[in-house]
Amino acid sequence: MRQLVCLTAICITAVNVVQPRSHPLQAIFAGEMLVTPTHDGVKHMNQLRRDPITGVWTIVIQNGVGLEELVPDTPAIRAIPGETCSYCQGHENETPSEIFAVRPHGSRNDASWRVRVVPERMPVLQIHGDLNNRGLGIYDMYDGIGAHEVVIESPEHNKRLVDLADHEIAEVLSTYKDRMQDLKKDARFRYVLIHKSLRTGNDPHLHHAHSNVLATPITPQRVRDELQNAQQFFNLKERCLFCDIIRQEIDDNQRIVAANESFVALCPFAARAPFETWILPKKHETFFEWQSELPSLAKLLRMVLDRMRGTLGDPNYVMEIHSGPNLFAGKNRGYWKTVERDFHWHIEITPRSCKSDALGKSRGIAAYQRRFLKNSPCKPGDHQDAS
């Protein structure tokens, strides 16, 4: 067994690695075959397995992962648009039928869209079926049930999120909001994660702006840690931990990247990597999908990404939206009773070009040279108003 990817502490691993092969989305979810035929033609469903020591859930891919997918991060390289990218406008018949789209006119699956959502062609989780929650001795398992969707952020190839106009970014954010609302109607899914990863590779899809929506029957470990810490703080002080941090950071003005009337972008006090930046609403809000001030958020997000580009030279990065959990899924068991008062949704952006050292990799401790206070967009006194 070889670990391939760790997505917000949901690890994706592969077993029975076979001959190398090409994978259309290898840079985001390496080996993301949900039902993969083995050499004998038998299909196997992926599984969600829980480590009882760390609490981390792992999506176990049963077969079919190419060794060429295990590559280190390198600076992103732009690809030339070609006939091979099914995300491009005019290639709608080369993707699964769309789930959602932003278009001024026209009909489903035509070429008039501005933002488009389609099922992942080779998802890590599948939408149909029962969870089949079961134990294997001391271990816990589910079948690989969930949702895995791709948000195509622009019809234009080679146009990154930072290259879009503010109103176009707002349409992407509105699409995230719609998909979260829809997927949270399903009581099987405890959490819906928005995940965007810019990485290099030869696949043309990697150079067409897109992100992933992943709905899972479990809460990712890092998000669960955030939820639990926020709950503990609230139980002790009857205040939102995030709101307290926002107030202190604004007062100190040492790690503020940018701000406007509704949102603030800041570097965390104990950042896990140089240039890590969070965007949070100034007023208390638990769920991103309830957000109504998307134009203001879009403007601030573009500014943050533009400043990262100017500082780091167009880096690879990971962006995630951490919203509140699906209360519909946990209502019968009383999960997160105070979440609407103690949790605060936020966007986390971490450039991949900044590596932590071996201590951080092996022990989960962020250890690196703290040069970001001088060189990053987070230096003291460099607060820019994004209003």
Domain boundaries, the chain: 241-385
Q: Supply the pLDDT for residue 270.
A: 84
Q: Supply the pLDDT for residue 16.
A: 41
Closest CA to 57 of 190, 164, 166: 190
The span from the CA of 82 to the CA of 132, in Å, is 43
Mean pLDDT of residues grouped by 10 in the chain (387 residues)?
Answer: 48 44 33 33 72 73 48 46 80 94 90 95 90 92 94 93 97 98 96 88 75 94 92 95 96 94 93 89 97 97 93 89 91 79 96 53 44 40 50
Closest CA to 317 of 193, 152, 196: 196
**Which DSSP symbol is given to 68?**
G
Q: Supply the pLDDT for residue 114.
A: 96
The distance of Cα 90 from the centroid of its chain, to the nearest Å, equals: 27
The answer for residues whose C-beta is within 8 angstroms of residue 111's C-beta and 6 or more apart is: 89, 90, 92, 155
Distances (CA, A) of 172 to 62, 226, 278, 281, 370: 33, 25, 18, 18, 33
* Residue 173 half-sphere exposure toward CB, CA atoms < 13 A: 27
Q: Supply the pLDDT for residue 173.
A: 98
The partner residues of 100 in beta bridges, in order of sequence, read: 117
The reply to whether CATH 3.40.50.1580 applies to domain 241-385 is: no
Q: Supply the pLDDT for residue 335.
A: 73
